[in-house]
């Protein structure tokens, strides 16, 4: 076999044999779920004005807009207050479930439905981070983001340890119940004609529902059965493809932002950062803004530095040391934006997107430190639960290799 064929075969085996980047996919799952959950909780007192019946962007206006752009929003199935209140609570619960990694496959579907429905209900609510969250909620649906740092992974490890001891593992009852309830809900919505703004979302939801049912059925059989192995291969390919798209999306965001900034006169003369710091809308701490803008040299360095970091970042992925340095700079920049400009959820969304490039060794150390801290503060001791086999045996790959 020639070297090219050997390399190609190894690459195919790598992509199909394991879901790469388990820690990176877990941290972006946690990051985006936490961002949306915190936003929903903060805006809970104002939910009706933002997305509900008391808002300036009325139900009829939203209905007309989605009829033109074919956007999906479950909130437009009814204009009643009980439906809105129940759906808002469901979006909170789905975000919390995805954050904890409880029934991750189902939670990711409900998370996507919640994000799309609320954001498409009132399209003028957002600060830029909502666009990132909108896209990532769709991409997360195709990832196996519950391999580590999730309740699913803990349950799988517990079951595996029980099998190793020769104990009987109880049958999963929650999964089939969730699957049946979601199927009943989908059938009701479909038969009543609620999916009237396009076929993409309903086709996706029905496909995911069918695949989840097939997956659950095959899980009751031997893990080495041919249909189960085939499903694992397909899931690995989808996961690795979605992870690549997430990385490409993050690079595209920074590259386009950087190149557009270069074309602006205020970015060219080094004064662009000065102006938003003196806008009342972006000045939660006016004194801090005055302090930062007191030095023209600092403003010029921050302005030029922002452009250089954003333009250069996609080209640094081939050098892990430079990439890690720029990654720290960009995360620090977003943290400063969250405080100085009062855009916490935009910054959290961007930091979550950046996290896909974090080194695996760093994420493992963070996970180990969190586990030790949890052990110290735990009131009751219990038997140690081993890490899932998939997280121990699979190679994370070049996604975040340190």
pLDDT per residue, tens digit, the chain (402 aa), is 677 777 788 888 888 889 999 999 999 999 999 999 999 999 999 999 999 988 889 999 999 999 888 899 999 999 999 999 999 999 999 999 999 999 999 999 999 999 999 999 998 887 888 899 999 999 999 999 999 999 999 999 998 899 888 888 888 889 999 999 999 999 999 999 888 888 889 999 999 999 999 888 887 765 567 788 888 899 999 999 999 999 999 999 999 999 999 998 999 999 999 999 888 888 888 888 888 888 889 899 999 999 999 999 999 988 899 999 999 999 999 999 999 999 999 999 999 999 999 999 999 999 999 888 888 877 665 554 454 444 444 444 434 433
Phi, psi of 146 (to 5 degrees): -110, 20
Q: What is the pLDDT of residue 103?
A: 94
Going by C-beta distance under 8 Å and a sequence separation of 6 or more, which residues neighbour residue 357?
24, 247, 250, 317, 323, 327, 399, 400
Q: What is the pTM of this model?
A: 0.91
Q: What is the rounded distance in angstroms from the CA atom of residue 14 to the CA atom of residue 4? A: 15
Q: CB 84: neighbour CB atoms within 10 A?
A: 21
- Residue ranges per structural domain of the chain: 251-361
Q: What is the pLDDT of residue 222?
A: 59
Q: What is the pLDDT of residue 380?
A: 61
Q: Which of 166, 250, 182, 263 is nearest to 216 (CA)?
A: 182
Packing angle, helices 296-312 and 226-262, rounded to 10? 140
Task: Yes or no: say if 342 and 229 are a contact pair by the CB < 8 Å rule.
Answer: no
């Amino acid at each position: 076999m020639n070297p090219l064929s050997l390399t190609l075969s190894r690459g195919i085996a790598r992509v199909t044999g394991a879901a790469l980047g388990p820690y990176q996919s877990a941290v972006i799952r946690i990051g985006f779920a936490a961002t949306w959950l915190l936003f929903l909780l903060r805006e809970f007192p104002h939910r009706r004005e933002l997305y509900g019946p008391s808002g300036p962007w009325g139900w009829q206006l939203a209905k007309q807009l989605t009829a033109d752009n074919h956007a999906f929003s479950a909130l437009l199935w009814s204009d009643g207050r009980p439906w809105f209140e129940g759906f808002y609570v469901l979006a909170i619960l789905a975000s919390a479930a995805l954050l904890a990694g409880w029934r991750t496959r189902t939670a990711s579907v409900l998370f996507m439905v919640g994000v799309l429905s609320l954001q498409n209900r009132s399209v003028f609510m957002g600060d830029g981070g909502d666009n990132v969250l909108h896209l990532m909620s769709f991409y997360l649906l195709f990832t196996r983001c519950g391999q580590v740092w999730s309740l699913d992974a803990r349950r799988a490890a517990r079951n595996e340890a029980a099998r190793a001891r020769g104990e009987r593992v109880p049958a999963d009852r929650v999964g089939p119940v969730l699957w049946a309830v979601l199927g009943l809900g989908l059938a009701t919505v479909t038969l009543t004609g609620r999916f009237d703004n396009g076929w993409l979302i309903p086709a996706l939801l029905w496909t995911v529902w069918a695949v989840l049912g097939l997956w659950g059925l095959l899980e009751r059989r031997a893990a080495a059965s041919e249909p189960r192995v085939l499903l694992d291969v397909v899931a690995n390919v989808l996961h690795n493809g979605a992870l690549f798209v997430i990385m490409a999306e993050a690079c595209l965001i920074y590259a386009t932002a950087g190149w557009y900034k270069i074309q602006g006169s205020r970015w060219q003369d080094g004064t662009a950062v000065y102006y938003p710091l003196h806008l009342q809308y972006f000045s939660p701490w006016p004194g801090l803004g005055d302090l930062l803008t007191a030095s023209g040299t600092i403003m010029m360095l921050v302005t030029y530095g922002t452009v250089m970091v954003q333009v250069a970042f996609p080209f640094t992925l081939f050098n892990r040391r430079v990439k890690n340095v720029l990654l720290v700079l960009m995360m620090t920049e977003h943290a400063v934006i969250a405080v100085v400009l009062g855009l916490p959820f935009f910054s959290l969304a961007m930091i979550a997107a950046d996290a896909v490039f974090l080194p695996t060794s760093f994420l493992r150390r963070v996970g180990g430190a969190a586990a030790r801290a949890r052990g110290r503060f735990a009131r009751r001791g219990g038997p140690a639960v081993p890490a899932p086999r998939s997280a121990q045996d699979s190679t994370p790959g070049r996604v975040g290799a340190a």
